[in-house]
Amino acid sequence: MLLPALGSSSSSSLSLSLSLTSSLGVGSGIAAKVALRFPQRELTYEQLAREARQVAHGLVGKRRVAVWAHVRAETCVVVVGALLAGVPVVPLNPKIGERELAHILADSEPELVIDDELPFGEAVELPEPDGEAPALIVYTSGTTGPPKGVVLPRRALATNLDALAEAWAWTEDDVVVHGLPLFHVHGLGVGVIGPLRRGGTVHHLGSFSVAKAAEALRDGGTMLFGVPTMYHRIAAEPEHAEAFGKARLLVSGSAALPAAVHERIERLTGQRVVERYGMTETLMNTSVRADGDRRPGTVGLPLDGVEVRVVADQPGEVDVKGVGDEPGEIEVRGPNLFLEYLNRPDATREAFRDGWFRTGDLAVVEPDGYVRIVGRRATDLIKSGGYKIGAGEIENALLEHPSVAEVAVTGEPDEDLGERVVAWVVADGEPPAPEVLSDHVARLLSPHKRPRVVRYVDALPRNDMGKVLKRELR
């Protein structure tokens, strides 16, 4: 069971089954409840059930379909209908470029690409797929080559959403507010399928603005899902602080939330943001609990059923409590893992070590087990003067300086050091002398972690999720 039974007193129950867990069965009380609220359209559970069933009838028997993931209720109807029909869905970014689109369509070979016209069909018997059946095929951002199709099974979604519900005390009474895109696991998986699985409500803003999010929270919203860029904007508009202070949970993900932003949000709203850590291949791995210590700079503890370890560089050397001051790579195993990279058995094999998925993310584990992410191995592990340095901790230190609005830290070749630390800074007001920022980092962290070069830029290159594209910083 991925989603709750959807029904009404006047229609038979519609069970969006994964054949994995017991039904979150509901009676007629849920029929009139709002399931999806978008700026252009609102659907009750009864309406969603009816339309999703019609879509399922039009899709059943197909091997795979793609959907243009426009930010509207119809995208959700198609995804729910496909889950009912047991047909895996490939969400397509509406802003995708021609070359990337051609690659994804050639790689995934969908039988149907759905845009404006929903594929309604006549009633037929719907299947009961098992938990290993693919549910979504989500393409990675392709930072190191063409995007890879991550095949997510139904059991990964079901178990992971239930683990998040346990961690966040997430129930049918919650209204999830967000303005995230619907072509990835944050906006679609956690932000849409998650609330529907609980029998709650999705309130999608269409596009994010601080004012719209505040209005939605004043209008019954209980949880806000966002990314660091959004929280940075919230901190910059204190006139709306009261609305965010009333939310049950403010959740941040997709990238690390700078500790300085975390603290500004707390000062403004009285709320500490809940951070979680996940990726396309694993869904969510760790999270701060709703009743736990919402510690800035950390992403909490492993979710129920998920195992997390940190591995040192030496082959086979594993220290589940971290590797001291030096970061190690996070590896994960559990029912939350993907099945494979579509058509890429080589990449799938390379991604695993003895059943553990190698995330490529760097972290240290604090004494109480909290995980602290310090960057990506490919772009954020800087080897300088014999030291291994995580770019993320330097970025957090720089963001504590009042003259730094945004920052990204990279490494570049250095004849003496091997690599030198470079800070790319968007200044808040008049830029200080570079040595001021270098000394600031040396004082907070240690001298070998100070930026050797500071470059001021007008803006940092980012993708749709607000992640900095460090490969473009050259």
pLDDT in tens, 286-341: 999 999 999 988 999 999 999 999 987 655 555 554 545 677 899 999 999 999 99
Same-domain status, 447 and 310: no
Same-domain status, 289 and 240: yes
Same-domain status, 121 and 53: yes
Same-domain status, 355 and 389: no
Same-domain status, 353 and 389: no
pLDDT at position 23, please?
29
* Stronger pLDDT, 418 or 278, i.e. the higher one: 278
Last residue of a domain, one of 331, 356, 376: 376
pLDDT in tens, 63-87: 999 999 999 999 999 999 999 999 9
Q: How many domains does the chain have?
A: 2
Residue 25: pLDDT band with limits 50, 70, 90: very low
Q: What is the CATH number of the domain that holds 414?
A: 3.30.300.30
pLDDT at position 324, please?
56
Instruction: Give the pLDDT mean for 202-219.
Output: 97
Same-domain status, 157 and 58: yes
SS (H, E, C) 308-352: EEEECCCCCCECCCCCCCCCEEEEEECCCCCCEECCCHHHHHHCE
Read off the tokens for 77. 């109807």
Same-domain status, 343 and 460: no
Domain extent at residue 220: 1-376
Q: What's the length of the chain?
A: 474
Same-domain status, 207 and 263: yes
Residue 8: pLDDT band with limits 50, 70, 90: very low
Same-domain status, 124 and 173: yes
User: Which is it for strands 301-302 and 283-287: parallel, antiparallel or unpaired?
Assistant: antiparallel
pLDDT at position 319, please?
53
Lowest mean pLDDT among 15-29, 53-67, 145-159, 202-216: 15-29
Give CA torsion, residues 289, 292, 298, 304, to 10 deg: -40
Residue among 188, 169, 195 at smallest CA distance from 33 = 195
Last residue of a domain, one of 376, 406, 438: 376
Instruction: Give the pLDDT mean for 141-160.
Output: 84
| Amino acid present at 315 | P
- Looking up tokens 């995007």 gives 147
Q: Is 111's pLDDT higher than 60?
A: yes
pLDDT at position 26, please?
40
pLDDT at position 9, please?
30
Q: Is 474's pLDDT higher than 80?
A: no
Read off the tokens for 113. 């690409």
Average pLDDT, the chain: 87
What values do phi and psi take at 398, rounded to 5? Answer: -65, -35
Same-domain status, 213 and 332: yes
Please, where are the H alpha helices in 60-97?
Answer: 73-85
pLDDT in tens, 432-444: 999 999 999 888 8
Q: Is 14's pLDDT higher than 60?
A: no
Q: Is 360's pLDDT higher than 80?
A: yes
Instruction: Give the pLDDT mean for 452-473.
Output: 86
Q: What is the CATH number of the domain that holds 308?
A: 3.40.50.12780
pLDDT in tens, 39-53: 999 999 999 999 999
Same-domain status, 291 and 331: yes
Residue 352: pLDDT band with limits 50, 70, 90: very high
Last residue of a domain, one of 376, 400, 426: 376
Same-domain status, 351 and 443: no
Instruction: Give the pLDDT mean for 185-195.
Output: 96
Question: Please, what is the Cα angle at 304 between 298 and 306, to 5 degrees?
Answer: 75
